[in-house]
Amino acid sequence: MRPHHICALGALILSAAVTAALAQQSINSGQMATSLARVSSDTKLAMTGAQMRQAVLDYIRDYPGALPPRPLTFPQLESLTQFVVEVEFDFNSAVIKPSSYRTVGSIADALHHPLLLGYGFLVIGHTDSVGGRAYNVGLSQRRAEAIREALIDPFGVNPAALDAVGMGEEQLRDSAHPTSGVNRRVQLVNVGKKFCFGRSGEQFLCQ
């Protein structure tokens, strides 16, 4: 998979070209780690994953319809470094396809990199528009959780460092072609330093 440039969430939504040609076998975990580490020391996401999940459901309730009227935005995410990858699942399922195991392993390698030691991450799942909006939120949530669980076991990423959020089709990358595969992706967001370390190496939540 070809790694993508770090950009604001709005740019990620508006630009379909960055995932036009994905090749999962060539994903570079070192470059992913370096990209995700480009974060200021005071970066902190005040919004929790649970609050984001509720905001998605509230948006569907407030703006019903077959398609979202516009991409749902989270301004707090716009300044955070992020990386977009493609993880394939069985149709209408949260079962990761064997062809994507290497991609998940590369994500884990990146998150284990010393540059990212102590940081927290959102694993955000996105779908195309096939299916109802509320259903797609649930499907993308299950898929994001499946990736989170795979990163934890067998790859050993700290569970407390990962939060899964399903966005469904509420942030279509290519709204002109809502059923296009470019809308199906996983977004990794560095939400800032979450864990600090004592003099003897003990780990604790930063204040």
Taking residues 91-116, what's their average pLDDT?
95
Please say whether the beta carbons of 183 and 129 come within 8 A.
Answer: yes
**What's the length of the chain?**
207
Q: For 70-102, what is each residue's pLDDT tens digit?
A: 999 998 888 899 999 999 999 899 999 999 999
Q: CB under 8 Å to 65, separation ≥6 — which residues?
A: 133
- Of 133, 142, 148, residue with least CA distance to 56: 133
Q: CB under 8 Å to 160, separation ≥6 — which residues?
A: 120, 194, 195
Asked whether residue 5 carries a pLDDT value surpassing 90, the answer given is: no
Domain spanning 9-205: CATH superfamily: OmpA-like domain (3.30.1330.60)
Q: Which two tokens stand for residue 77?
A: 């995410």
Cβ-based burial of 8 (10 A; exposed 0-12, middle 13-18, buried ≥19): middle
The pLDDT value given to residue 6: 34
Higher pLDDT among residues 47 and 204, named by residue = 47
Claim: this prediction has a pTM higher than 0.75? yes
The pLDDT value given to residue 99: 94
β 162-168/119-126 pair status: parallel
